[in-house]
Chain A
Amino acid sequence: EVQLVQSGAEVKKPGESLKISCKGSGYSFSSYWIGWVRQMPGKGLEWMGIIYPGDSDTRYSPSFQGQVTISADKSISTAYLQWSSLKASDTAMYYCARHGVGAILTTWFDPWGQGTLVTVSS
């Protein structure tokens, strides 16, 4: 079974750094793009960016470029989303999701991780 398991909820203060993770199993992790999607409280889905773990090729939405860093460690089948200095406005649920077809950019997301809730508050 293809599965993405994300790290647990985080509570941080403004200005702190954070790295959350997404571990893939049941498939060839290196061969599928993985993306990150933000969902702010009570709001819709926002595409943040994607990474191809095989060669670490990364694409960002202009809205998130420079605000976060997406990375992956194919040796442990894990993708990451990282902030160097959190803001209160980063409070949201963050989902990782795999592309539906391996190595292809123009595909949908399936499956999705369970989500990681990040709360940033002083």
Chain B
Amino acid sequence: EIVLTQSPGTLSLSPGERATLSCRASQSVSSYLAWYQQKPGQAPRLLIYGASSRATGIPDRFSGSGSGTDFTLTISRLEPEDFAVYYCHQYDSSPRTFGQGTKVEIK
């Protein structure tokens, strides 16, 4: 089973700042990696698929990069609605797995 390790666990930032979230895989997942955003009481929402492709309707302040074992989700300028938990997800091999999540909180 591929283990995804997200860092940091919590990111404390102010609106307007840049957020950089990391996801590291225990073995290569090529570009088969997605990022989701989850707000309290809501289902996860797809942000990025294929490591770097934005899902429909996702603002361009969200960007993804990486391949193989190291991936990054960047939020260029945090908006108030971006404070949430973010999960990475590999769909390269079975069983599919998720990272443990990074919480982006208001500083």
* A-to-B contact residues, CB < 8 Å: 35, 37, 44-47, 59-63, 95, 97, 100, 105-115
Tell me whether A110 and B98 are in contact (CB under 8 A): no
**Contact size range, B:** 20 to 34
Tell me whether B49 and A110 are in contact (CB under 8 A): yes
Q: How far is the CA of A113 from the CA of B45 in the complex (A)?
A: 10
Residue of B nearest to A50 (CB): B96
- 17 more contacts with CB within 8 A, not counting A106-B91, A109-B36, A113-B43, are A35-B96, A37-B44, A44-B99, A45-B44, A45-B87, A45-B98, A47-B96, A61-B96, A62-B95, A63-B95, A107-B49, A108-B34, A108-B46, A108-B49, A108-B91, A112-B45, A112-B46
Closest Cβ–Cβ distance, residue B40 to chain A (whole Å)? 11
Residue of A nearest to B32 (CB): A106
Could you mark each residue 25-55 of chain B with 1 if its beta carbon is under 8 Å from any beta carbon of chain A, else 0?
Answer: 0000000101010000001111001100001
Closest Cβ–Cβ distance, residue B56 to chain A (whole Å)? 9
Closest Cβ–Cβ distance, residue B79 to chain A (whole Å)? 21
* B-to-A contact residues, CB < 8 Å: 1, 32, 34, 36, 43-46, 49-50, 55, 87, 89, 91-92, 94-101
Residue of B nearest to A113 (CB): B43
